[in-house]
Structure 1
Amino acid sequence: MESIRYERLQETLYFETMDNGLQVYVLPKEGFQKTYATFATKYGSVDNHFQVEGQEEVKVPDGIAHFLEHKMFEEPDGVDVFSKFSVKGASANAFTSFEQTVYLFSATEQIEDNLETLLNYVQNPYFTKENVDKEKGIIGQEIQMYQDNADWRVYYGLLEAMYQKNPLRIDIAGTIESISTITKDTLYECYNTFYHPSNMMLFVVGGVDPATVMEQVRSNQKAKDYQPQGAISRFFEEEPVAVGEAWHEVRLPVSEPKCLLGLKEVKNGLTGEALQRRTLTTKLMLDLLLGNSTQLYQTLYDEELISDDFGSDYSSTTEYGYSMMGGDTRDPKLLVKRLQEEINKVVATGFSQDAFDRALRKKIGGYLRMLNSPESIAHEFTRNRFRDSDFFDILPIYESLTVEDVNARLREHMNWDQLAVSVVVSP
């Protein structure tokens, strides 16, 4: 077991790679009663075309990562996994994103028993034709339910409008048509590829002893027979620079229209700290531009074009990047027009040093507060680690940023040729 000391944060991270390739990280938090654990695989909804080194190329149906997550809770003995956690005083859950699938629990007692349950059920798949067919109906209902959810539709409508080829544009759950072709054999193929320990990470944070956790995981993994597996290659079609659709409109019964603007970026080639730095710079830029204490926000609020649900965000990987901004509005077309007008004024002048300093202090404060949340630490650490970056490097990156960096990013990113708009309006 090795460790890294982050002196300024007063945190020590312990880590070890097991013989089968599983990466294990433990962050002890003295005085914390709650322990939070995530068992994650670098496998998300976009990973539908792949190849394991030495094997044939494979294409699988959309939605299979999410389908697999659902099926992992099926046990051969028929006992519900959630009840196993519950009787040990733990709360468990799981989720699938574009990039990863995460299984988790939180508890204040019987941590060793709950950790054993987490490791064992995720590493013991049980798929049959009968339980797979049954799940198709359940997930099909989930897909249909979200078709009536205006917030979901405006968000995915934006991704569909921006991207023409990247599987990011496809709902994480897939479609009713795509999940209908999933079989237990395709599930096992994806499971055996992406749930190999060498593609997974265990992160435990809270009132735990690192040596005890590591010894338990070593013992657990040694009892399981995993053969070495080659590297996994993921394939993506070349994404055109242009957005697919400038204006995407859906009609649903809503009390007020919903509007999201997206600025699309394509493959940037950035990895690790460079990608992390761009992401942090862009999020800081958006805060300076559209945060609820900015003049732009107040102007649009006074014009009754936005409400307090208005917000912005940025997401990026090596394969894609996009910012989005918006919320409920009385007039989507006018909101788009006014946002462009006001943002162009800011681009022309740039941000002041004083405004930058205030926004940066706010970001650093938010990051430091996050260190008191085991849940936030676990999810942010895992997400960053799968992108070859370090969650604990965020503070020094923030402190290295300058107002010139943020102004350059503002001018680069605010390219209206890359704009797509998604709206949900009443019939």
Structure 2
Amino acid sequence: MEKIVNDILREEVYYEKLQNGLDVYFMPKRGFTKKYAILATNYGSNDLEFVPIGEDKKIRVNEGIAHFLEHKMFEQPDGGDAFEKFSKLGVSANAFTNFTMTAYLFSATENFYESLEHLIDYVQTPYFTDENVEKEKGIIAQEIKMYNDDPDWNVYFNCLKAMYVNYPARIDIAGTVDSIYKITKEELYKCYNTFYNPGNMALFVVGDLDVEKVIDVTKKANNYDVDKLSKNIERFYPEEPANVKEKEVIEKFPISIPMFNIGFKDNNVGIKGKELLRKEIVTDILVGMLFKKGSKLYEDLYMQGLINENFGAGFSSQVDYAFSVIAGDSKEPKKVKEIILEYIEKAKKEGLSKEEFERTKKKKIGSFIKCFDSINFIGNSFISYTFKEINILDYLDIIKDVTFEEIEERLKEHFKEEYCVISIVEPK
């Protein structure tokens, strides 16, 4: 067992790779009544083309299948539901699928070890039949229709569709009604057997618990046949050009004020580990300096009546794709975009404020340290960063080393008009 210590945070993480390939992490939090566990697979909605385990030819599966698979994992061979058992144990459980990851989690104040055993057990017990797959299609179709009626969801995904020409981040995580109705139990088993492979998964546990018992319960609950496990998964993603697909997308919804997402596509991709974490930190600081409430740009837009309090910005980053999005409400969203682009060009010519850089950096450090009071944040962040080959405990060392010059260089590299799109949802 390996022990990773961060003296600044005064936190430690225990790590062990099980014989079957599962990465197990445990962070003790003495005095915390709540405990948290998250079991995740490095598999999300972007993984549409791959070579299944035991085969030698690439296949393409239906869009939305990772999310569909997550839904189906709760149905058990005995007719029970995994959520029901969690409920009887008095714990709160959930699951989610995003572009790159599927995760199953629970938080508990009691019955933790029994709940951990149950979590591992049901995630390694798939049960798909023609009947239960058909039944699920109707449920997920309703969910998709609900999202299709949500202006927030549409303004965001239209922004991604405008930025990306080929990359599957432009595809809705849940797929379409047409695509999910083509999913079969055989296709689900192929995806499950390939990606729900412990060598492609990680477990993170956090709380006031005994490390030896956490590892022991995890080992006993794992029942995979080690000899049948594939160590490497061949995945294929379409080549993505640097250019955006379209500069503007407008859709009409029954709303009172237009909503917008302004996206900047990032072409500095294909990196992982500490290099990727540094890029994320640098860009987060830059985005904060430019767009946070209280910034000059925000105040100018607000005083002109072009935005309201529903204004914000963020940077989203994975190994193979990344983008920044500025979102808000405005009666003149195109004017907002125009002013933002002018402001960015002015900042490139005249330079950013070094004092603002130091303030923003200091605030980011404080926010990060405070987040370690949340076991949900610790679990979710640690496991998602693990799949990017990042140790989140490296965050403070890297952010302290970030220079003002890096921020100015990143401004010139990332915020370019040619890679900028706008998605607008306006009143019917």
- Give the TM-score range, shorter chain: over 0.9
- Structure 2 match to 1:388: 389
Amino acid at match of 1:233: E
Q: Deviations over 1:182-215 (max 9, x none)?
A: 0000000000000011111000001111111011
Q: Which residues in structure 2 correspond to 1:8-87 (within 5 Å)? A: 8-51=8-51, 55-87=56-88
Q: Is the Cα–Cα contact under 8 Å of residues 45 and 100 in structure 2 kept in the other structure?
A: yes
Moved more, 335-344 or 410-419: 335-344
Shift of 1:404: 0.8
Q: Deviations over 1:69-100 (max 9, x none)?
A: 00001112222211211111100000000000
- Structure 2 match to 1:169: 170
Moved more, 228-237 or 19-28: 228-237
Distance (whole Å) between structure 2 residues aligned to residue 349 and residue 267 of structure 1: 24
SS of corresponding position for 2:114: helix
Distance (whole Å) between structure 1 residues aligned to residue 229 and residue 259 of structure 2: 49
Q: Deviations over 1:237-263 (max 9, x none)?
A: 111211111110111111110011111
Q: Is the Cα–Cα contact under 8 Å of residues 94 and 102 in structure 1 kept in the other structure?
A: yes
SS of corresponding position for 1:422: strand
Q: Is the Cα–Cα contact under 8 Å of residues 356 and 403 in structure 1 kept in the other structure?
A: yes
Q: Deviations over 1:315-341 (max 9, x none)?
A: 122321111102111111111111112
1:405 aligns with 2:415: no
How many residue pairs get matched? Answer: 426
SS of corresponding position for 2:339: helix
Distance (whole Å) between structure 2 residues aligned to residue 51 and residue 409 of structure 1: 37
- Structure 2 match to 1:287: 288
Distance (whole Å) between structure 2 residues aligned to residue 91 and residue 21 of structure 1: 28
Q: Deviations over 1:97-142 (max 9, x none)?
A: 0000000000001111100110001010000000000111111111
Distance (whole Å) between structure 2 residues aligned to residue 184 and residue 19 of structure 1: 29
Q: Is the Cα–Cα contact under 8 Å of residues 199 and 231 in structure 2 kept in the other structure?
A: no
Q: Is the Cα–Cα contact under 8 Å of residues 239 and 266 in structure 1 kept in the other structure?
A: no
SS of corresponding position for 1:231: coil
Distance (whole Å) between structure 1 residues aligned to residue 285 and residue 135 of structure 2: 46
Distance (whole Å) between structure 2 residues aligned to residue 243 and residue 49 of structure 1: 23
- Structure 2 match to 1:378: 379
Q: Is the Cα–Cα contact under 8 Å of residues 266 and 319 in structure 1 kept in the other structure?
A: no
- Structure 2 match to 1:348: 349
Shift of 1:426: 1.1
- Structure 2 match to 1:201: 202
Distance change >3 Å, CA 33–CA 313, structure 1 → 2 = same
Distance (whole Å) between structure 2 residues aligned to residue 56 and residue 13 of structure 1: 40
CA RMSD between the two structures: 1.2
Q: Is the Cα–Cα contact under 8 Å of residues 42 and 101 in structure 2 kept in the other structure?
A: yes
- Structure 1 match to 2:301: 300
Shift of 1:267: 6.2
Gaps of 5+ in 2: none
User: What is the TM-score when the length of structure 1 is the normalising length?
Assistant: 0.98
Shift of 1:233: 1.9
Distance (whole Å) between structure 2 residues aligned to residue 364 and residue 52 of structure 1: 43
Amino acid at match of 1:156: F
Moved more, 317-326 or 147-156: 317-326
User: What is the TM-score when the length of structure 2 is the normalising length?
Assistant: 0.97
Amino acid at match of 1:247: E
- Structure 2 match to 1:314: 315
- Structure 2 match to 1:178: 179
Moved more, 59-68 or 325-334: 325-334
Q: Is the Cα–Cα contact under 8 Å of residues 263 and 422 in structure 2 kept in the other structure?
A: yes
Moved more, 162-171 or 334-343: 334-343
- Structure 2 match to 1:238: 239
- Structure 2 match to 1:421: 422
